[in-house]
Structures are given as C-alpha cells and as structure tokens.
Chain A
C-alpha cells in the first residue's frame, strides 16, 4: 500500500483522492535572458553579481523538490547580448535550457540574430518545443520545426500553451527573417485560446508572448492582448525588459481575470505563479482506497 500512495502523484487517478482535493500547479518563468549565462561581472554597476544560469538551475531544482507539478517557460530573446552569443551562436544557451528542463519557449526578435537558419541550427540541442503561432515559417529553415501550441498534463491538470511573436519588419533585418510571415496576433490568439479551451479542454491557457508589455501607441502589446481576447489565463511576457514587482491583472473581454507577468531581462529574476485548482461542482467519486488498489493493478 505504501508504494501505491507514493505513486499516487504520477497518475491522473489522484483526482479521486477526495472530492475536494486541491491541485497545485507552479509556473516558473524567464524572458529576454539574452545569452546571460553567467552572473554580471563586478564592473556592471547595479547588476554586478546578479543572474547566472547555474544559480537559476539550482533554484529551479530546489523548487522542483518541493512542488509536484512545475512548468518552466521562457518568453523569447534567448539569444544575443554577451560574447557567448558572438562566439557560440546560442548553442550553450539552448543546451542550458534543456538541462534545466524547460517545458517550452517562444521566439523573440533577437532569436533571428543569426538568421532563421542560425536558430534552426541550434534546435537539435533543444529538448523542449519552440511554440509560436503567428509566424509562418513556410519556405524557411524553420519550416516544421516549431509548433503553434502544445498541451501539457501535470497530474490531472491540462495546460494549453501557445506562443506569440512581435512584428519583425523594421525590428529585425529583412535578410535575417527571410520568408518568415508575421501574422496579426490578436486573431491568432483568439483562435488558439478557443481551440485550447473547447477542443483540447484545457484547465489553464498560457500565452508565451514576445509582443511587449505596453506601448503608448496603438501597437499590440500584452495589455492589449489581455483585454481584447477571451480564454487566456496567463500571459508570460517579454521584449520590453519590464521588471514587474507583481503581475498585472486585467479583465478580458468577458470580464474574467488575465494575469500578465514579466521578469525584466538577463536572467536576473525567476518568476513564479502558483495556481490552485478545484472542481467547481464537488462531485463525489470513488474513495481513495480503491484508487490506490486500482493503480497498483495497472502499475
């Protein structure tokens, strides 16, 4: 029996551990790390000694040891910013993210800095998907190498994740993005959210966005995205290197809460959002005892 109880977390059946059992999901996130694999040097003023991928990895491990269901996500601009990128073109960055167990990342504008080909070249080192719904990579080196969305199960929690990128023209040299087509993000976002909510029946919908937090102009941003759509619970943002002391919570088109978060840049911070879930209707199910036996039999 003891081993059965220990295994309980690995199976969806722990939904039946009790009618009101609460499930917890921990979302950890970064954005705009910009090749800052090491802490800033002593000559870097206010950031001296801050950041560092080995320190981030140890922190993530410590959180994983405490929490059963952890998602680790990045909102793009992995590339460019230190000599590591000039010399190695993103190889150690992608390897480090794979080693830390990232579940997904989207693409930022600087991820085109070695061209579409340069990003594609590093993908064999990625043990996580690149998720981007509004770039069409047909007839580029990235064709078929990214996905618009994914669905991840953590216990019996079903999480849908899609990605959005910023307009490339004027921001990225034409020859760097080549045939990549940028598609208007709001329409795509609504399609994705509808698909993940209705078809995939996700309990939580997350958008990895490199659109930027907010603009004075009418340019689409995370704030516009949150207000002009429905079905998105959480926007993990990037691009504007915005340090949010706490997430911004806005109302979507249906008046429901959307959380926007962004943690600056350069891996100076790790963001964390914990979600608690329960069933709205407290249906009564089989008791915990039979679940454990059932699991042992299957196992």
Chain B
C-alpha cells in the first residue's frame, strides 16, 4: 500500500469521518431497495467441467462406494419405471417384501409399501448393481409384519386409493374416485371379520404417511432391511438365470 504524506493522512481521516457520518445518516434514511430482479437456472451434467478439488475430496469415499456398490447382482430385460396406480418398480418391491415375509411367517398373505418409498424414477434394461438397489430403497427400513383386521384393511385400501395407488402384492382392487372397490386378498374377496397378516415397512407401521391406524395393531418388527429383501429377491433370480421382470398386472387400477 503506498504511503501518503502525513498531512494528507490527517486530511483523509477527517474526510473519512465525514463520510462515515454521512453513511450512518444515509443508511438510516434511505436503505437499499430492490429495483429489479432476474432469474435463471443452470442444468448440471457430467459434460461440464468438474472442479478438481471436489473430485479429490470425493475420491476416497467413491472408492469405498465402488468396492461395495458397483457389483452387478441381477439383470432386468425391461425398463423399470415408477408410476401410479401401479408400476414395475413398485410391484418388484412389494413382491420381494411378500416373499421375504413369507419365509419368516408363511401365513403372510400380502405386502404393501408406500409409493414415496420408491426412490428412483427409472432403472434401464441391463445389469443392476447393488448400489442401484440402495438408491431404489436408501432407507434402513425394516420388514414388518402387521396383523390387520379386515375392516381396518378396508380402511388401509381407502388410504392407498386416496394416495392414487401404492405398491402392493397379493392384493387387487379398483380405485374409484377416492374409494377402494372390489378388494381381493390372495384372490379372495376381503372379509371384514378376518385378521390378515400383511408385510409392510416399519415406517408405515409406526404411523408414517398417514397410517396412524396401524400403530396399535399387533406388529412383528423384523431385523431384515426391506432393501436386503429386494437384493435377495434379485440375486435369487440371477442365480436361476432369470431376468428381473416384475409384471404389470392391474393389481391396482383406476375405474373407467
């Protein structure tokens, strides 16, 4: 910084003080106002330059993820998409949950998952890595078996209808407006007086997604992650040399 002659410094200090006073007075009397604004957004994609320090910061974490997650565990021969009232991703999840729960308790007749629990919109045909199923079901939710009286199950289906359709397995019904109609459980019409064992995740068992009515029911919380149920289901198909091909079978459909 260039040094100024002493007299000039004194002069400048005085001027500076005057400026400060003006600044204080000025601010109190006339704050800043937004005179105009403009907006835009930028897409971000891997074709753009990457900041090398961030790439470096991520490297050790990435190596850990790669080692554990970039392992191909299954193949799908069809695009797996997320949609309502039903979709292949949701049907895969519900079918895998049902099969896994039936291994714990053969009396389980159906499975229900919340639509918001499907966390990727799409999986392309081809190999599926362990990491992809972690993305599909990132939460450490536990497979849970709940004993639901038929009339409460009817109410549960109404909630699903209200949400416009959730992943189910072993259940079929029609959404008519916000009503659930023609409900079949394991192929049989819903019996209001019966008690059904249904596989769900612990998030909704604890009342999540407006399922408060499930909280007081007899519940078995397992130590199986829902994600592991999906991984094992996909791995079993792979071992049998079969592709993952969850059907779309109108298990939940909208009334005409």
Max chain B CB contacts within 10 Å: which of A83, A88, A156, A261?
A83
Closest chain B residue to A56, Cβ basis: B44
Chain B residues closer than 8 Å to A220, beta-carbon distance: none
A272 near B42 (CB under 8 angstroms)? yes
Tell me if B's interface is mostly helix, strand, loop or mixed.
mixed
State A2–B112 Cα separation when bound (angstroms): 70
Q: How far is the CA of A204 from the CA of B16 in the complex (A)?
A: 27
- Name A39's closest neighbour in chain B (CB-CB): B46
B116 → A minimal CB distance (Å): 10
Are B51 and A58 touching (Cβ within 8 A)?
A: yes
CA–CA, A221 and B151, complex, Å:
34
Partner pick for B45 among A50, A87, A233, A297, CB 8 A cutoff: A50
B65–A57 contact, CB under 8 A? no
Q: Is B210 an interface residue when CB atoms closer than 8 A count as contact?
A: yes
Looking at the assembled complex, report how far the CB atom of A183 sits from the nearest CB atom of chain B, in whole angstroms: 21
* A43–B210 touching, CB < 8 Å: no
Instruction: Report B-chain residues with C-beta under 8 Å of the C-beta of A46.
Output: 121-122
In the complex, what distance in Å separates the CA atom of A297 from the CA atom of B11? 10
0 or 1 for each of B31-65: is its CB under 8 Å from A? (1 = yes): 11111111111111111111111110110011011
A157 CA to B32 CA in the complex, in Å?
Answer: 7
Let me know if B218 is at the binding interface, CB within 8 A.
no
Whether A59 sits at the interface, judged by CB under 8 Å, is yes
Stretch with Cβ within 8 A of B (4 or more), from A132-140, A143-151, A224-232, A275-283: A275-283
Is the CB of A273 closer than 8 A to any CB of chain B? yes
Closest residue of chain A to B65 (Cβ to Cβ) is A83
Query: Residues 189-202 of chain B: 1 if any A CB is under 8 Å from the residue's CB, otherwise 0?
Result: 00000000000001
Closest to B31 in A: A203
Q: Which of B37, B45, B135 contacts A259 (CB 8 A)?
A: B37
Assuming the contacts A82-B138, A283-B26, asked whether A204 and B34 have C-beta atoms less than 8 A apart, the reply is: yes
Please report the C-alpha to C-alpha distance between residue A3 and residue B1 in the assembled complex, in whole angstroms: 8
The 8 A CB mask of A76-113 against B (1 = contact, 0 = none) is 00001111111110011001100110000000000001
A113 to B8 CA separation, bound complex (whole angstroms): 62
Contact B54 A53 (CB under 8 A): yes
**A271 — which chain B residues lie within 8 A by C-beta?**
39, 41
Which among A44, A278, A286 is the interface contact of B18 at CB below 8 angstroms? A286
The complex places the Cα of A56 from the Cα of B49 at a distance, in Å, of: 9
Contact between chains at A279 and B16 (CB < 8 Å): no
| CB-defined contacts of A298 to chain B, threshold 8 Å | 16
Separation of A39 and B253 alpha carbons in the complex (Å): 35
> Which of the listed residues A16, A41, A44, A86 has the most CB atoms from chain B within 10 Å of its own CB?
A86
Number of residues of chain A lying within 8 A (CB) of chain B? 90
> Which residues of B lie under 8 Å from residue A294 when comparing CB positions?
12-13, 15-16, 19
Interface residues of A in 33-69 (CB under 8 A from B): 35, 37-39, 41-59, 61
Closest residue of chain A to B121 (Cβ to Cβ) is: A45
Q: Are B33 and A279 in contact (CB under 8 A)?
A: yes
For B138, the chain A residues whose CB sits under 8 A away are: 35, 80-83, 85-86
Q: Is B123 an interface residue (CB 8 A)?
A: yes
Q: Which of these, B15, B37, B122, B206, contacts A276 with CB under 8 Å?
A: B37
Q: Which residues of B contact A (CB under 8 A)?
A: 1-2, 4, 8-9, 12-13, 15-16, 18-19, 22-23, 26-27, 29-55, 57-58, 61-62, 64-65, 68-69, 79, 81, 119-124, 126-128, 131-132, 134-135, 138-140, 202-203, 206-210, 212
13 A/B residue pairs, CB under 8 Å, sorted by A: A37-B61, A45-B121, A52-B44, A54-B55, A55-B45, A59-B48, A83-B134, A86-B140, A88-B61, A96-B58, A201-B31, A268-B44, A290-B15
Instruction: Spell out A's residues near B (CB within 8 Å).
Output: 3, 12-13, 15-16, 22-23, 35, 37-39, 41-59, 61, 80-88, 91-92, 95-96, 99-100, 113, 156-158, 170-171, 173-174, 201, 203-204, 233, 246-247, 259, 261, 263, 267-281, 283, 285-286, 290-291, 293-299
